[in-house]
Structure 1
Amino acid sequence: MTIFSSRCALAAAVALCFAAPAVAQNSQTIVISGSRFASDPSLLPIGATTITAAEIRRAGVTDVNQAIRKIGGVYGRQSLTGSPDFPLDLRGFGSSSDQNVVIVLDGVRMNENELSSATLSTIPIDMVERIDIMRGGASVLYGEGATGGVISIVTKRPQAGARGGNVFAELGQFDSSDLRLSGVQGFDGFAIDASVGQQRTDNYRDNNEFKQKQFNGGVQFQGAFGRLSLRADIARQDQRFAGSLTEDLFKANPRQTKTPNDFGKMDSDRYTAAWENKVGAFDLAAELAHRKKDVAAAYFASWGASRSSYDSEQTQFSPRVRHLAQFDGMLNELVTGFDFGRWNRVTTADYSAAEATQRSKAFYVRDELKFAGAQQARLAAGVRRELFEKDSFDPMPFTSATYSIKQAQNAWELQGSVLAAPGLTAWAKAGHSFRVATSDENAFTPQANKPLETQVSHDAEIGLGYAQGAAKLDARIFRHNLDNEIYYNPVAGMFGANTNLDPTQRKGFELDGSYRFAPAWQVLGHYQRVQAKFRSGQYAGRELALVPSHIVTARLAWLPGDGQSADIGVQRVAEQRYGDDFFNSCNARIPAYTTVDGRYARKFGQWELALSALNLFDKDHYSQAFGCRSGIYPDSGRQLKVSARYDF
C-alpha cells in the first residue's frame, strides 16, 4: 500500500493511492503451483524459489512482505506510508517495480488497477503454508503485469480432525506491538479457521504511526462435489505520513518529518469463494473474489490543505480446467481457462472527481509434455489473449482523466529443459509479456485525456539447476527487451508525467542456493545483478533510476533439535541512481548499504520465547529517493523485539 507517490504527485497534485493450500517442502527450488493447479511432481516449474512455513517461523518474520524480502531475497523499497507493504522488485523495474510483479493469494490476484502495492499485511503470517517466487515473464497464466515475475502465497488447508491454534504477542522499540490469535478445527468433510490481529508502531520516523486491525476467517467443505471454501479478509488501517527529506536533512536527523500533520486511512473487505474437483483425468477449479476498499488522506502545506478519498470495488472470476494424460511413457499436462475482471473507483478530492472503470476478459491455454527417457526432457508452450475496456470521466477543470478506450494484447511462452547430467538440469525460456497502464497512470499523461500504450516485453532466459544431497543451486541469465515501458518521467512536460518510454532493457544474472553443511546448520543465499538501461532514443545507453546493479542476500540457520533455534541474515544493496536522474547527470547516487537482522528462540513445552533484531548495526540508509539528493524516505534504524508464542 503506498500513497500516490512523489513520482505522480509532481505530475499534477498530491494524491493517495492504496492498493489494495499442498505439502510444504524444505527445498529452495520446489514449486507446486506453476500451472495454477497442484502440479504433478515431475512437472514442477524449474528454477523457482519456495519459502516454507518452517523457514518463516525460524526467521521470526511477522508479515508476508518481510518473508519475501528477507528469506526469498526479493528487493523491497521503504513504504511511503509507514506500512509494512514495501514495493517489491523482481529484476530491476525501479519505481514501477510493484506494477511489474503479480501477487497471487490462493489463486486470486491481489494486484489492482491503481498505482499501489498489494496489501500483503492483511494476510495472517501464521496461516501461510508457503510462498512461491517465480521470476521472469509469466503473462500467459497470470496476465498483465507479470514481466518481472509472480509471487504466489498459499495458505494452510485445515485437515479432517485437525484442531489447534496459537497466541502470539510481540513488543519492540518505536512503541511497536503485535498481538495475534488464530485457530483451526477440522471435522469429517468440514473445517473452519479464524485469525484476529492487531498491530501498531510509531515507526522509526516522526509522524509515521501505523495501526492495523484485521480479521481473517474461512470455512471449507469436502465431499463428492469436490472442495468448496469461503473466506473473508477484513482490515482497518490508520497511518500518518512522514514525507520526504533532502540529503542534508537526512544527514542531520533521518527521523525527522517536515509533514507533521499528514495522515490517511484504509478500510479493506475481501471475500473469496473457491471450488475444485477432479473428474477422471480432468481437474476443475474456479475462484470468485470481491474486494471493497475505502481510502482517505489529508495533506497540509503552507498554501493550505489537500484532502482526498475514494471508494473502489473489484470483482474477479477465474474458471479453468486441466487434463493430465500418459501415452507411450510420456506425461502431458494441458491447462486452459478464462479470467474475468471488473474494477471501479469513485474519487472525491480537491483536485479530482473522477469515476474510472476497467473491465477485462482473457482466455489462455498452455501445454507441457514430459518425455520418457533418462534425460527427462520437458517442453511447454502457451498463449493468452486479453481484452481491456477502460472508461474514465472527471468533470473537474484542468484534469486529463476523461477517456474511453479498448485495448487487446497477446502473450506467449515457450520453454524446455533437459537433465544434462545426474542432478544437473539445463533450461531455456522465451516469451512475450505485457502490462497495461493503471487509471492513476492514465490520469497524468503528457497529452491530456490520452491513455498510455500497452507495455510489451520480449523475455528470454537460460539457466542451470543443480540438486544433489544437501546442496541446491540455480543460476539464470535473463534479458527483457521492453517497448513502451510505462514509467514516470520527471522531465516530461512542464511538471513531469507518466509516459511510454523509448525502448529499454533489463538483463542480468541470478543465483539462488542452499547448503546443509551439518545436521543443525544450513546456509541459503540469493544474488541478483541487473543492468537496466535505454536501448535507443534521447536517453540511449543511459541507466534507469532506482535499480541497484547488484543485491546479495544470505542467511544462516541453526536448528540443533533441543528447542533452540537461531537465524541471522545479511543483505547488501549496491548504489543506484536517484529517481529523477534520467540524464544520469546527478553528481551523486543513492549510497550502497548493508543491513543485518537476526533472531534467537527457545521452546519450553508449548511456549516459545524469542528475541529478534532488525538492522542490528543501526545503519542509516534509504532505498527511496525521487530527486537528486532529495525526495528521500529513510529506512528504519535498529529495532529490537521480544515475543512469546503459545501453541495449543
Structure 2
Amino acid sequence: MRGREPGAFSEENDIMTAPVLHRRAPAMAPRALVSAISLCFIAAAPAFAQTPNNTLDQIVVTGSRFNSDPALQPIGATVITADEIRRAGISDVNQAIRKIGGVYGRQSLTGSPDFTLDLRGFGATASQNTVVVLDGVRLSENELTDPVLASIPIDSVERIEITRGGSSVLYGDGATGGVINIVTKRPGKQAGRGTVFAEVGQLGQREVRGSVAQTWNNVTLDAAIGKQETDNYRDNNEYKQTSFGGGAQWQGKDVRAGVRIDSTRQDSRFPGSITLAQFEANPRQAKTLKDFGSVDSDRYTAFAEGRLGAVDLAAELSHREKTAKSTYSGDPSQRKAKQNQFSPRLRHLGQFDGMLNEIVAGADFIKWDIAVDASYSQAKAKQKSQAFYVRDELKFASPQNFRIAAGVRHETFDKDFNDPIGYPTTAYNIKQSFNAWDVQGSFDVVPQVNLYAKAGQSYRVATADENGSTPVANKPLQGQTSHDLELGATYDNSIVKVDARVFRHKLTNEIYYDPTAGASGWGANTNLDPTKHQGFELDARANIAADWRVSGHYQHVKATFTEGVNSGKELTLIPKNTLSARLSWVPKDGQSADFGAQWVDSQRYGSDFANTCSAKIPSFTTFDARYARKFGAWEVAVNALNLTDKQYFTNAFSCKGGIYPSNGRQMKLSARYDF
C-alpha cells in the first residue's frame, strides 16, 4: 500500500489492479427545468396525435433472454437503437448508455471511456449492483471493476436494452439496480457492409476504427478493429486502446450458431487524487507522475440457438481472460483473472384459450479464478456458481392487454481464497445459497395508457476483493438481499411516449466500503445496517415535428440508512437528482444535429457516512453537441463535449479530498465512410 493516501483506498485500482486483500475506490437543471420539460411533452401531445405517419421506432427486445414476441416486451424497459447511436455520433457503448439511455455515469479513474454506470443510486458499488450482458454472456466482473465495454465495437451494436430494478431471477447476482443488455447485429440479407471512421480533437484525441461484414448464403463473417489515443484532461493521464472483434456465424431456417473473439489492450497513466484546494487552484494537475498500468482483455464465445418442435433452445459458452498490471511508487503488481460461463436455456411460446404464454427455464454455470503477484499479496481466489431459474408469463386476449409474469431462481456459490503473505494471512472456504423471485403485471386502463407493477427479491454476493478486507479477518461478508417494489405508468401514442415510475429497494446486509470499520486505519468492506433506496423516474421521448425529436430522463433517488447508528443518514456518492435531455434534428437533405444537456445534483463525499462533512460534491450542468453532413457515402461531423468547459468532479473519496476531476471542454472533428 505504499504511496497511497489513507481514506482514498488506492482509487486507480478501480479498473486496473486492486489487490484482493484491499478495498479499492469504489469503484440538470433544477426543479424549474424538470417542470418545463414535462410541460413541453404534455403540451405537445395533442399536436403529435395529428401526425399519425410520424411514428417512433418499433423494436423487438429480449426481456426473457430470448427474442421476444412484440407483445411480451419487458415491462418498463428503455431501448436504445442503432439509429439513435449513429445519429448522436456515439463512439462507444458506455457513452450510448449515458447520453441516450440517461444512466448516470461516474468518470473512470484511469482515463478510460468505461465510466461507472449507476442504476437506482448505488454510489461506490454501482457496478456490483448492475449486471451487463452481451448477447447472453455476462460481462460483469467478480471483482471491484467496471465491465470492459470498450471491447465492444460500437458499429456492431443493434440495440441496448436497459431494465431498471431487481432482475435477479433471469440474471442472478448483482442485478438489484438493474440489467443492461447489449445485443449485436445479426446477419442481414445484403451481401456485405463496411465502415471506416477517423476522429481527431483537443486533449490529444486520435481515433481510427473500421468494420466489415460479409454474407454468403447462410454464412456471415464480420470483423472490427479500432485504435484510440488521448492525453485526457489532466496531466499524466494519457490513455491508449487497441481493440479487435471478429465472428463467424451460420444461420438456417430454424438454427443459428457461431463463434466470436473480442480483444482489447489498454494502457493508462494515473494522475492520482487531489484535494479541494488543489482542484480549485488547478484541476488539471497530477499528484502522481510515475504511476501507470495496463489491462489486456480477451473474450471467446460460442453460441447456438434453434427450434425443436414447439420449443426454442439457446446456449452460450464463453471464456474470458484479463491481465491487469500496475506500478505505484515504483512497486509493480499483476492480476490474472479467468472466467468460464455456460448458459443453456429453453422456451415454449404458445397460445391457448385466448392467451399467449411464454415459459422460460434455464441454468447458468460460472467458474472464476484470479491470481495476484505483488509485493504485498500472493492471493489466489476461486469461485464457482450454479443457478437454475424458471419464469412464466401470460398475456390475456382482452381489450385491457392484461399481462402477468412470475419467476424464481436458486443459485449457490462456492468460494475459496488464500494469501500466504497478506496482512494478516487470510484464508477461507465457504458455500452460500440465494433465492430470487419476482412477480410483474400490467394492463391498459385506456388504449394508450398502461399501468404496471413489479415486486420481488434480488441479491448480491461479495466479490473476492471485498472479502479480502473485512472487519474480521478470514470472515467473508454475508450476502446482500433486497426486497424490490416498482409501480409505473406509460403513455404511448406512437408519437409521444412517457414512462413514469416510483421504486423502492429495502436492503439487508448491503455490501459497501465503510471508512470507519476495521482496525487497520484504512477502513473495511462490511455489511451495512439496513438501508433503503427509493425514488421516482421519468422517461419521455417524442417527435415534435417531421425532422425533430426530443427525449429526456429524470431520476430522483434517496438512499438512507434505516437502522443503526447512522439511521436516517444519507449514503455517499449518490446524487439525489439527475436530469438529462436531448434534442435531435434529422432533415432529409443529409444534415443532422444533436444537442444534449445533463444536470447532476450535489452528493455526499465518499467517506461521509455520518453526514458530518461541512461540504458536498457540488452540482453541475454540462452540454454536448454534434453537427454532421453527408456527402454520398461520406459523413463529416464536428462534436463538442462539455461545451461550457465546466470544472467539476464526480469522484471524491474523502471530505474535501480524494478528488478526481472530470474532463473539460473537448472539440472533435470526424469523418466516416460507409461501403
1:280, CA displacement in angstroms? Answer: 2.3
Superposition pairs for residues 45-194 of structure 1, below 5 Å? Answer: 45-194=74-223
Task: Verify the 8 A CA contact 2:602 2:619 in the aligned structure 1.
Answer: yes
Number of aligned residues: 637
Match status 1:448 vs 2:457: no
2:554 maps to 527
1:290 maps to 319
Match status 1:245 vs 2:270: no
TM-score by length of 1: 0.96
- AA aligned to 1:346 is A
CA distance in 1, matches of 2:57, 2:465: 37
Query: Cα gap change, 1:354/1:397 in structure 2, threshold over 3 Å: closer, same or farther?
Result: closer
Task: Verify the 8 A CA contact 1:428 1:461 in the aligned structure 2.
Answer: yes
Match status 1:596 vs 2:606: no
- AA aligned to 1:217 is G
- AA aligned to 2:585 is W
Equivalent position SS for 2:126:
helix
* Aligned counterpart in structure 2 of residue 498 of structure 1, from 508, 522, 525: 525
1:561, CA displacement in angstroms? Answer: 1.1
CA distance in 2, matches of 1:642, 1:398: 51
Query: Cα gap change, 1:26/1:281 in structure 2, threshold over 3 Å: closer, same or farther?
Result: farther
- AA aligned to 1:525 is G
1:583 maps to 610
* Aligned counterpart in structure 2 of residue 214 of structure 1, from 231, 243, 251: 243
Deviates more, 1:620-629 or 1:6-15: 6-15
Match status 1:375 vs 2:400: yes
CA distance in 1, matches of 2:56, 2:269: 40
Superposition pairs for residues 548-627 of structure 1, below 5 Å? Answer: 548-627=575-654
Task: Verify the 8 A CA contact 1:514 1:524 in the aligned structure 2.
Answer: yes
Match status 1:336 vs 2:346: no
1:20 maps to none
1:314, CA displacement in angstroms? Answer: 0.3
CA distance in 2, matches of 1:122, 1:324: 34
1:191, CA displacement in angstroms? Answer: 0.5
2:382 maps to 357
Query: Cα gap change, 1:271/1:250 in structure 2, threshold over 3 Å: closer, same or farther?
Result: same
Moved over 3 A (4+): 4-17, 25-31
- AA aligned to 1:66 is Q
- AA aligned to 1:37 is F
1:258 maps to 287
Query: Cα gap change, 1:129/1:269 in structure 2, threshold over 3 Å: closer, same or farther?
Result: same
Equivalent position SS for 1:402:
strand
- AA aligned to 2:613 is C
Task: Verify the 8 A CA contact 1:579 1:628 in the aligned structure 2.
Answer: yes
2:6 maps to none
Query: Cα gap change, 1:141/1:16 in structure 2, threshold over 3 Å: closer, same or farther?
Result: closer
Equivalent position SS for 2:300:
strand
- AA aligned to 1:126 is D
1:325 maps to 350
- AA aligned to 1:149 is G
CA distance in 1, matches of 2:443, 2:23: 53
Query: Cα gap change, 1:175/1:397 in structure 2, threshold over 3 Å: closer, same or farther?
Result: closer
CA distance in 2, matches of 1:272, 1:421: 45
- AA aligned to 2:511 is I
Superposition pairs for residues 423-434 of structure 1, below 5 Å? Answer: 423-434=448-459
* Aligned counterpart in structure 1 of residue 539 of structure 2, from 494, 506, 512: 512
TM-score by length of 2: 0.92
1:493, CA displacement in angstroms? Answer: 2.0
CA distance in 2, matches of 1:484, 1:144: 14
1:489 maps to 514
1:30, CA displacement in angstroms? Answer: 5.3
C-alpha distance after superposition, 1:67-92 (max 9, x if no partner): 10011000000101111111100010
1:4, CA displacement in angstroms? Answer: 3.6
Gaps of 5+ in 1: 18-24
1:256, CA displacement in angstroms? Answer: 0.5
Superposition pairs for residues 193-232 of structure 1, below 5 Å? Answer: 193-223=222-252, 226-232=255-261
Equivalent position SS for 2:115:
coil
Query: Cα gap change, 1:113/1:13 in structure 2, threshold over 3 Å: closer, same or farther?
Result: closer
CA distance in 2, matches of 1:592, 1:118: 27
* Aligned counterpart in structure 1 of residue 487 of structure 2, from 462, 466, 469: 462
Query: Cα gap change, 1:394/1:471 in structure 2, threshold over 3 Å: closer, same or farther?
Result: same
Equivalent position SS for 2:13:
coil
Query: Cα gap change, 1:222/1:8 in structure 2, threshold over 3 Å: closer, same or farther?
Result: closer
CA distance in 2, matches of 1:73, 1:34: 19
CA distance in 2, matches of 1:200, 1:152: 27
Query: Cα gap change, 1:80/1:253 in structure 2, threshold over 3 Å: closer, same or farther?
Result: same
CA distance in 1, matches of 2:289, 2:56: 46
CA distance in 1, matches of 2:23, 2:589: 58
CA distance in 2, matches of 1:612, 1:326: 50
- AA aligned to 1:644 is A
Equivalent position SS for 1:118:
coil
Query: Cα gap change, 1:220/1:87 in structure 2, threshold over 3 Å: closer, same or farther?
Result: same
2:665 maps to 638
1:399, CA displacement in angstroms? Answer: 3.4
Task: Verify the 8 A CA contact 1:31 1:132 in the aligned structure 2.
Answer: no
CA distance in 1, matches of 2:212, 2:376: 46
Task: Verify the 8 A CA contact 1:390 1:404 in the aligned structure 2.
Answer: yes
Task: Verify the 8 A CA contact 1:106 1:153 in the aligned structure 2.
Answer: yes
Task: Verify the 8 A CA contact 1:9 1:15 in the aligned structure 2.
Answer: no
Task: Verify the 8 A CA contact 1:28 1:514 in the aligned structure 2.
Answer: no
Task: Verify the 8 A CA contact 1:28 1:513 in the aligned structure 2.
Answer: no
C-alpha distance after superposition, 1:516-554 (max 9, x if no partner): 110001100000000000010110000000110100000
Query: Cα gap change, 1:416/1:225 in structure 2, threshold over 3 Å: closer, same or farther?
Result: closer
CA distance in 2, matches of 1:148, 1:640: 34
Task: Verify the 8 A CA contact 2:470 2:518 in the aligned structure 1.
Answer: no
- AA aligned to 2:76 is G
1:223, CA displacement in angstroms? Answer: 2.9
1:22 maps to none
Gaps of 5+ in 2: 1-10, 28-53
Task: Verify the 8 A CA contact 1:7 1:626 in the aligned structure 2.
Answer: no
* Aligned counterpart in structure 1 of residue 300 of structure 2, from 240, 250, 271: 271
1:46, CA displacement in angstroms? Answer: 1.7
2:69 maps to 40
Query: Cα gap change, 1:423/1:7 in structure 2, threshold over 3 Å: closer, same or farther?
Result: farther
C-alpha distance after superposition, 1:237-256 (max 9, x if no partner): 11101111100000011000
C-alpha distance after superposition, 1:568-618 (max 9, x if no partner): 000000000000000000000000000000100000000000000000000
When the two chains are superposed, the root-mean-square deviation of aligned CA atoms in Å is 1.9
CA distance in 2, matches of 1:26, 1:103: 30
CA distance in 2, matches of 1:217, 1:464: 41
1:112, CA displacement in angstroms? Answer: 1.4
RCO higher in 1 or 2 (8 Å CA, sep ≥ 6)? 2
